[in-house]
């Protein structure tokens, strides 16, 4: 049978079903303009967040924290994974329906590849669809980085991720629950998974080549987080440079044992594991996208280069979400859609420069959240600008006016707030305690809108809540040393 080529022109073409892209497609489609959205993986409909990242991992974190000592780790993990899968399937179905019901949105399954500045081809079996558009949005996201460690050369050939060697996606379906887990990398993703699997019942060891985990956090903040994780059973090896990984039995069997070889201070050591998590960053998902054919410029790491309005080097082509690098959060991808929507239908003024005090949370148990400057960053800023700092810092267990963590049985953590002394404006905050992921949004709002530390200190908060810690903590501001 002769292959058929179909052609379609649309107002907006979105490549990839991530948060920013799907929201933009819906917004533009409901305005009556013709939109095409291309997604190559049926299991990624709705984007990374709902399928393999934010939602499923936090569901697992929640269920891991709910396990009691008498609960069997293996069976508890199986039930948690089932709940995770049920949740993501329902959200995937809902996300498909939200766009499928918009008449002017064309949903396309297949791999898109640029053949010109604003033209892509999508192979659909024996047929080919050629899409052209007035505006194209690259929204393909990112994937976990596979490091060039000896022993991993056969990934994709001799063995696949998911046996003894995992990334943050495949580890969510480890079968059975690994009795021993080695995490390579002491960053946010690595520690979140380390904490999660320790609560599921795995013996977890983190190998971090840095002098300490969480190198971007202040030392006392990182020290508190690490101490909490150690209390929960996680072991850390800092200054550990991994030199080789033997996946064992080609890494294809869940009963195989992997061996990780690493050096600390020049001395070679090794550790066995039922599973190894590679948590060493993320890589832009642009393989086979044909960016060269479009003329789209990338940086040395392959991320699409954009200006403050998310324009790429090609007129009419934008990039949003992880594929452009920078802060890789679902909520910043959502804000990316606002910037592009303003370019297409608004005044074209909104830009990345408007993005101030973006908070983030690492979902340990309890979660660690931060916004604005760290204390180290604030000290550099103060020195450069001739300013003085005030700092409030208190262990959660010592905050009398914050009983919520004690009620929930986990009064661990630390709250630190950095303030510009003269203006009393908050420069940054680090919160580790139950519900820190909620309280940090209030602090971020205060920073963005110039609400002073005194106003937060003297505000009326619900009791008992995690927010009311601000009453007591901010009452203890002292000059920074």
Crossing angle (nearest 10°) for helices 219-231 and 188-200:
20
The pLDDT of 225-239, averaged and rounded, is 98
Question: Which tens digits make up the pLDDT trace of 238-297?
Answer: 999 999 999 997 555 556 799 999 999 999 999 999 999 999 999 999 999 999 999 999
- Worst-scoring range by mean pLDDT, 187-196, 243-252, 408-417? 243-252
Question: Which tens digits make up the pLDDT trace of 2-16?
Answer: 678 999 999 999 999
Element counts in the chain: helices (H) and strands (E): 13, 23
Whether 306 has a pLDDT exceeding 60, the answer reads yes
Q: How many CB atoms lie within 10 A of CB 377?
A: 15
CA atoms within 13 A on the CB side of 446: 25
Q: What residues does CATH 3.30.390.30 cover in the chain?
A: 360-479
Measured CA to CA, the distance from residue 358 to residue 292 in angstroms comes to 33
The pLDDT of 31-41, averaged and rounded, is 97
Determine the pLDDT at residue 224: 98
Q: How many CB atoms lie within 10 A of CB 134?
A: 14
For the CA atoms of 400, 403, 405, 409, what is the dihedral angle to 10 degrees?
110
Question: Which tens digits make up the pLDDT trace of 113-141?
Answer: 999 999 999 988 888 999 999 999 999 99
The pLDDT of 149-167, averaged and rounded, is 83
Determine the pLDDT at residue 280: 95
Determine the pLDDT at residue 346: 93
- Classified by CATH at the fold level, domain 360-479 comes out as Enolase-like; domain 1 (3.30.390)
pLDDT > 90: percent of the chain: 94
Pairing label, strands 258-264, 267-273: antiparallel
Q: What residues does CATH 3.50.50.60 cover in the chain?
A: 5-143+283-354, 146-280
Residues annotated catalytic, as ranges: 463
**In angstroms, what CA-CA distances link 143 with 31, 286, 330?**
32, 10, 14
The pLDDT of 25-50, averaged and rounded, is 97
pLDDT > 70: percent of the chain: 98
Render the burial of 144-182: b for 16+ CB within 10 Å, e for the rest. beeeebebbeebeeebebbbbbbbbbbbbebeebbebbb
Determine the pLDDT at residue 250: 53
Whether 442 has a pLDDT exceeding 90, the answer reads yes
Q: Which CATH number fits domain 146-280: 3.40.50.11900, 3.10.20.600, 3.50.50.60, 3.30.70.20?
A: 3.50.50.60
- Classified by CATH at the fold level, domain 5-143+283-354 comes out as FAD/NAD(P)-binding domain (3.50.50)
Determine the pLDDT at residue 156: 63
Determine the pLDDT at residue 256: 78
Question: Which tens digits make up the pLDDT trace of 355-367?
Answer: 999 999 999 999 9
pTM: 0.96
Annotated binding site for FAD: 58, 140-142, 322
Annotated binding site for NAD(+): 185-192, 281
In 3D, which of 243, 252, 244 has the Cα closest to residue 157? Answer: 252
Using 50, 70 and 90 to split pLDDT, how confident is the model at 1?
Answer: low
Question: Which tens digits make up the pLDDT trace of 335-354?
Answer: 999 999 999 999 999 999 99
What is the residue-averaged pLDDT of the chain? 96
Determine the pLDDT at residue 239: 97
């Amino acid at each position: 049978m002769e292959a058929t080529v179909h052609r379609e022109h649309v107002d907006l073409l979105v490549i990839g079903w991530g948060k920013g892209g799907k929201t933009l497609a819906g917004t533009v489609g409901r305005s009556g303009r013709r939109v095409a959205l291309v997604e190559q993986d049926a299991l990624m409909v709705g984007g990374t967040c709902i399928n393999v990242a934010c939602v499923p991992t936090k569901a697992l974190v929640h269920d891991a924290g709910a396990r009691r000592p008498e609960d069997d780790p293996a069976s508890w993990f199986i039930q948690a994974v089932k709940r995770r899968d049920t949740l993501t399937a329902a959200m995937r179905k809902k996300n498909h329906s939200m766009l499928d019901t918009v008449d002017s949105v064309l949903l396309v399954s297949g791999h898109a590849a640029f053949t010109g500045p604003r033209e892509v081809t999508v192979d659909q079996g024996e047929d080919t669809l050629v899409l052209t558009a007035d505006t194209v949005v690259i929204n393909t996201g990112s994937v976990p980085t596979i490091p060039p460690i000896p022993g991993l050369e056969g990934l994709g050939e001799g063995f696949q991720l998911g046996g003894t060697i995992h990334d943050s996606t495949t580890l969510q379906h480890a079968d059975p629950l690994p009795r021993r887990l080695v995490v390579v990398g002491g960053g946010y993703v690595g520690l979140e998974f380390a904490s999660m699997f320790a609560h599921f019942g795995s013996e977890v060891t983190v190998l971090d080549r840095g002098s300490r985990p969480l190198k971007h956090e202040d030392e006392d903040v990182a020290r508190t987080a690490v101490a909490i994780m150690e209390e929960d059973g996680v072991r850390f090896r800092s200054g550990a440079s991994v030199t080789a990984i033997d996946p064992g039995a080609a890494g294809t069997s869940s009963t195989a044992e992997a061996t990780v070889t690493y050096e600390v201070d020049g001395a070679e050591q090794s550790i066995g594991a039922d599973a190894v998590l590679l948590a060493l960053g993320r890589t832009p998902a642009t393989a086979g996208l044909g960016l060269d054919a479009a003329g789209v410029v990338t940086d040395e790491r392959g991320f699409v280069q954009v200006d403050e309005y998310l324009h790429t080097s090609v007129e009419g082509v934008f990039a949003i979400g992880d594929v452009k690098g920078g802060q890789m959060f679902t909520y910043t991808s959502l804000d990316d859609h606002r910037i592009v929507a303003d370019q297409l239908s608004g005044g074209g003024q909104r830009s990345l420069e408007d993005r101030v005090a973006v908070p983030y949370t690492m979902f340990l148990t309890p979660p660690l959240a931060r916004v604005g400057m760290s204390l180290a960053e604030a000290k550099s800023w103060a020195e450069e600008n001739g300013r003085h700092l005030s700092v409030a810092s208190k262990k959660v267990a010592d905050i009398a006016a914050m009983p919520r963590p004690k009620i929930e049985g986990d009064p661990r953590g630390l709250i630190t707030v950095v303030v510009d002394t003269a203006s009393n404006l908050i420069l940054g905050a680090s919160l580790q305690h139950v519900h820190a992921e909620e309280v940090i949004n209030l602090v971020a709002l205060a920073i963005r809108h110039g609400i002073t530390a005194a106003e937060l200190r003297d505000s009326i908060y619900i009791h008992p809540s995690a927010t009311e810690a601000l009453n007591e903590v901010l009452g203890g501001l002292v000059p920074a040393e």
